[in-house]
Amino acid sequence: MSVLPYLVAAWVFLAGCYGLAASRNLIHAVGCLSVCQAATYVLLLAVGYRDDATAPVYSDIEPGSRPVVDPVVQALALTDVVVGATVTALLLALVVQISKRHGTVDPDELSELRG
């Protein structure tokens, strides 16, 4: 049981990769990329978890009275979320332009660059 959360992260990452490779729609592909990124959230938060601990916020608990989970991974996950959201926005902007210039968002039909 004690490795299950880590295995979930690995599973989510690979599922996202499969989706990316098999995608027939670029919007779906960008979504799959976010799935891969979700794996990193899961892994980071799982790494920082501590049994019976609460949130690392001391506005309503006395310092030292209870164990808290690792605040560092939470900060890293927050950074990661922002990075993911902005990358998604930028990639979707590119997909908007692809659909205008190519008239399709199916990666199988984009054949401008090859060889």
Residues 68, 44, 73, 85, Cα dihedral to 10°: -130
Taking each helix axis from N to C terminus, what angle separates 26-48 and 71-102, rounded to the nearest 10 degrees? 180
Nearest approach in angstroms of CB 19 to another protein is 9
28 contributes a contact to another protein by CB under 8 A: no
- In the set 26, 31, 54, 66, which binds another protein (CB under 8 A)? 26
69 contributes a contact to another protein by CB under 8 A: yes
Cβ 13 vs Cβ 42: under 8 Å: no
- In the set 39, 54, 65, 66, which binds another protein (CB under 8 A)? 39
94 contributes a contact to another protein by CB under 8 A: yes
CA separation, residue 94 to residues 20, 26, 75 (Å): 16, 10, 29
Nearest approach in angstroms of CB 37 to another protein is 5
